Each structure stands twice: as C-alpha cells, then as structure tokens.
Structure 1
C-alpha cells in the first residue's frame, strides 16, 4: 500500500577526522502517497544520500522521516517495506532470470506457487516473459535492468526507490525504459522515488521534481512549475535544455531615465534596461530601482525576427537537431544567448553573422542579485500593462 513520505528538517553530516561535511541540510518536504517523485541535481548535491536515508541505509544526523503516520527514522530497511534498484545491475550470475526476480520472495518465505505467479506477472508487465529461463549473461543491458526492476516489483513494496537505474544505458534503451518505469508505476500501489542527474528523465517521468543544490532544497514542485515558475536562477538554469539565457540588466524608473523617444512615460513606472531594450514592469520592481538584476529568457521563447523586445546576437554555432535547430551566440555585451528555432536556421545563419532576436515580456524571469526570482513575466499580463512597447 502506497504511503506518503515526509521529511521533516532532515540533515545528514559525514565526519572525516576533524572535518564535517553536510551532505543534506535541513530538507523538509512531503511526497504524496502513490506519486512518482524524482530527486535531481548535479553530482554531490545530496540526492543519493537522501534516498539512502529514506531506504534506511543511512540514519539522519537530525530530523525525522515518516511513511504516512509512522516514524521510520530509526527503523532498519527490512521493517520499512521498501524495495530498491541501484545504478549497478546487481543480478546473481548463476541464477536464471526467474530465480533472480523471485529471490527476494524466496528468502522471505513466500511459497513456490505464489512466488511463480508474482514472477510471471512482473515479467509480463516488463515484457520479459520469454527471458525467464535465460541467464543474466545472455541478456542485453536493458533486459538486465528490467530483471532488476522485476525483483523490486514482485515484493509489492509501499515505497519503490530507484537510484540512477539508467545511467549506464545508451540513449535508445533509456527512452524505452523511461516508458517501462512509468507503466510499472501505474500498475503498482507504491510511492516511487527516483534519483537521477538527468533533468530530461526528471521532467518526463515525474509527478513531482525535487531539485537539490549543495544539500539544500532548491524547489519541490510538478515538472512544469519548475519550468514555467522557477524559484531561482539556479532552478531556471538547471531545468530546461538548452539552459535559460541570463542577461545582466538594471532596474530604472521611466521618470529618471527617458526612453528612446525622449519621453519619460508614466511617472514611477519601473523598467528593466539592458542590451538595447527597455522592458516595462509597472511597479513590480519598485523596491529594486538602481539595482543590477538578471533577466532570464528560455531559448524556446526567443525568436529570430520576432517578439516585442529585441537585441542583437552574433552567431557562434548553429546546431541542427532534426526538426529544430539551436543557434548559439552572444549579445553585443558578451552574454551567451541561445535561440531554439526551426531547422531552416542551418541555411539562414552562419557563424560570425549578426541577427536580431526578439522576445515578449510575458516570457521572462527577473532574478535578484542573490539569484532569487523577483518577477515572473507571465504575471504582467494581469497588471494592466501592455505586453509590447507603446508605439
């Protein structure tokens, strides 16, 4: 039976001699029962350590972990009803696929008939029924990982933990297994916690994404919330491919700095200024007038010859990706800027050329000096301000 997972102020420290390393720092969150949550982040951010604490393989230095209403902080793994699949495919080479899948059931005393029924069910779900009598050495990498998943599936766990199970597979197998894991989750009455460094896996598979940064919780939300409403420049840069463009700008008032037409506009209105454009934001950033800020624009929302606001971009590389292309370039001020556009960009743009790229203000983020998001451009559509420059 699936159970919600609660982490309350969980911290994990490792001590080496006189040195203390904080791997997970005061993380609190609730993963709803039956959901699929993915921990993602760069190497060393604390995602695997957190997974191991949920599994019972590590004990928190402080804080508590609950499954539903049950405090499992100090319970050993065998009393948590969890199953875990590791990055390394740990199969017994001298056992058949059938024996590998059913081994956990066997050591728990499940009778042969029930064991075989559950093995057959798992094999059918994972589409490896015809592999049951083979040995692991006869299987491909993807088939071996399916066997490992089957061994976890048959245990009927409350919580299924997956620690980078696809990191050693090629791109084609990863794509296939992403679908298999999601189908497996739909058939299980379990809460799934998945760890990966691949943000594509996190975005495509999850109900919730837990993004960590140096042991801290950066953001915990559904995937598209992280994409559309990142809480910081770190989240915006990590989630999404290519990474979010970031442009150095300044917040000014129109009354303090006349616009290109020589008029001051509405007294007191704030504008984000930089790279040849002036972006009106009403009074949303009035507390930050005179400050340096960072404007974020996703490459998918900036277009050649389009958008209400524009800037010059010098092309460095054009990367064809089949139905689309990515233009990698730099602004006149030297900031990196990527543009995702159609495949014709390969013929239209050449390295060294300069073109005009445009965007709409509803598609931007504004980050403060500390990286925290100050403004979502999408919110400006309701503030009575025009979405494009006044003519």
Structure 2
C-alpha cells in the first residue's frame, strides 16, 4: 500500500581527513502518497544520497525520515517494504530472467506457485514474457533494465525507488522505457521516487519534481509550475531546453512606477514589486521559445553564431551587441546564417524577473497586468 514519504530537516554529512562535506542540507518535504516524484539536479547535488536515505542505505546525520505515520529513520532497508532499482543493472548472470525476477521473493520464503504467478504478472506488464527462460547475457540493455524493474515490481513494495535506471541506455531505449516506467506506476499501489540528472525525464514522467542545488531544496512542485513559475534563476536555467535566456537590466524610476531598462528594451514594472530597488541590477528570464522574430512588445538585436535544426524548429545561438548570450527557437529561422543580425521580441507576460540574489522578484503576469502598454523603441 502506497505511503507518503516525509523528510524532516534531514542532513547528511561525510567526514574525510578532517574535512566535512555536506551532501544534503536541511531538507524538508513531503512526497505525496502514490505519486511519481523525481529528484533532479546536476551531479553532486545530493539526489542519490537523498534516495539512499529514504531506502535506509544511508543514515541521516540529523533529521527524520517517515513513511506515513511510521518513523523509519533507524529501520533497516528490509524492514521498510521498499524496493530499489540501481543505476547499474545488477542481475545474476547464472540465473534465468525468471529466477532473477523472483529471487527476492524466494529469499522472503514466498511459495513457488505464488512466486511464479507474480513473476508472470510482472513480465506481462513489462512486456518480457518471452524472455523469462533466457539468461541475462542474451538480452538487450533495455530488456535487462526491464528485468531489474520486474525484480522490484514483483515485491509489491509500498515505496519504489529508482536511481538513474536509464542513464546507460541510448535515446530510443530511454524513450521506450520512460513509457514503461509510467505504465508501471499506474499498475502499482506504490509511491515512486525517481532520480535523474536529465530534466527531460523529470518533466515528462513526474507528478512532482524536487530540484536540488548543492544539497538544498531549490523548488518542489509539479513540472508545469517549475517551468512557468520558477522561484529562482537557477530553476529557470535548469528547467527547459534550451536553457532560459537571462537578459541584464536595471531598475529605473519613471513618472508612472518603474521600468526595467536593458539593452535595446524597456519594460514597465509595477511599483509594489520594485519600490526601494532603484538602480538595482536585475535579470529578465525569457525562454527561447518565447522570443519571436516576428513580434513582441519589447525588441532587441541578436547576432547569430550557430544555427541548429531540431525537427521542424530551428535554434539560433547568438549574442547581443553587448555580449549577452541568447538562444532563439522558431520554425521560421531556417534561412538564418552565421553573423546574420536579427531582431527578436518578447511580451512582458512571458518574462521572469530575478533580483541580484537570483531569486524571482515577479512573474510576467504581474508585469503585463499592472503595467501600462509600453512604447516601442525605435
């Protein structure tokens, strides 16, 4: 039966040669019961350490871990009804697929008939029924990973943990297995926690995403909220491909409120968000998909450097005359070449504004709703 997972002020420190390394720093969150939650972030941000503390493979330096109302901080992994799939595909090479999937059940003393029934159900769900009598060496990488998933699935865990299970697969197999894992979640009555450094996996598979930064929680929200309402420049840059453009600007007073003045553009801004910030350097975050070569209320110049074609869209990597890197995504840029100069525009509604500390000051809807219509720059 699925249970929520509570992390309460969890810290994890490692000590080596007199040096303390903080892997996880004061992490508090509740992963909803039955949800598919992904821990994402760059290498070294603490996501695998967090997963291992949930599994019981690591003990927190301080703080508590609970499954529902049960404090499991000091429980051994085998007493948590928790299964884990590791990055490396750990199959027994001398056992058949059937034996690999059912090994955990055999250790638990589950009768053979019941084992076989559960193995057959797992194999059918993961579409590997025809592979049950084969040996691991006879399988492809994707099939081996399905076997590893099956060995966890078959234990009927309350919590299923997956530590970068697709990192060694090619792009096609990753896409196939993403669907399989989501289908598995629908079949299971379990809370699933998935670790990846690939934000595409996090955004396409998850009910909720935990984005970590140097061991600390940066944002915990549904994927759409991370994309549309990032709490910081770090979140905006990490989530989305290509990364969010960050345009420097300065808060300047005007007769009616304030303006965010940048290189070739000026965005009116609501007084309540910027009072007392006169002269402060801020940044405007604009996703490449929201920069238009055909319109937008606020326009500036970009000099193209590299042009990539991605299916029906083109990505122009360039920079402003002042040296700010800018990416533009549009299906209409196929004729752009190196060193071409183009004018692109954005609307205030599509902007995030970040303060000097990198935290979000306001979102585009606040700019669009509370500001007068801008005068276009000539």
What is the TM-score with the length of structure 1 in the denominator?
0.95
Instruction: Give distance in 1, aligned partners of 2:19 and 2:365.
Output: 45
Alignment of 1:295-374 (within 5 A): 295-342=284-331, 344-347=332-335, 349-374=336-361
Shift of 1:386: 3.8
Aligned residues of 1:361 and 1:388 also touching (Cα < 8 A): no
Aligned residues of 1:317 and 1:350 also touching (Cα < 8 A): yes
Instruction: Give distance in 1, aligned partners of 2:311 and 2:175.
Output: 17
The reply on whether 1:275 has 2:263 as its aligned counterpart is yes
Aligned residues of 2:85 and 2:152 also touching (Cα < 8 A): yes
Instruction: Give distance in 2, aligned partners of 1:133 and 1:285.
Output: 67
Instruction: Give distance in 2, aligned partners of 1:201 and 1:355.
Output: 33
Aligned residues of 1:210 and 1:217 also touching (Cα < 8 A): yes
Aligned residues of 2:268 and 2:367 also touching (Cα < 8 A): no
- CA change 1:390–1:315 in 2 (3 A) is closer
Alignment of 1:178-189 (within 5 A): 178-189=178-189
Aligned residues of 1:361 and 1:387 also touching (Cα < 8 A): no
Aligned residues of 2:300 and 2:344 also touching (Cα < 8 A): yes
Aligned residues of 1:360 and 1:388 also touching (Cα < 8 A): no
Instruction: Give distance in 1, aligned partners of 2:373 and 2:13.
Output: 48
Aligned residues of 1:362 and 1:387 also touching (Cα < 8 A): no
What is the TM-score with the length of structure 2 in the denominator?
0.98
Instruction: Give distance in 1, aligned partners of 2:187 and 2:294.
Output: 48
Alignment of 1:214-293 (within 5 A): 214-255=214-255, 266=256, 269-283=257-271, 284-293=273-282
The SS at the match of 2:334 is helix
Structure 2: 5+ residue stretches without partners: none
Instruction: Give distance in 2, aligned partners of 1:28 and 1:240.
Output: 25
Aligned residues of 2:162 and 2:194 also touching (Cα < 8 A): yes
Alignment of 1:142-153 (within 5 A): 142-153=142-153
Instruction: Give distance in 2, aligned partners of 1:232 and 1:49.
Output: 23
Alignment RMSD (CA, Å) = 1.1
Shift of 1:236: 0.4
Instruction: Give distance in 1, aligned partners of 2:160 and 2:369.
Output: 43
The SS at the match of 1:346 is coil
4+ residue runs of structure 1 moved beyond 3 angstroms? 386-391
1:263: which partner in 2?
A: none
Shift of 1:382: 3.5
- CA change 1:35–1:326 in 2 (3 A) is same
Shift of 1:388: 4.7
User: Number of matched residues?
Assistant: 376
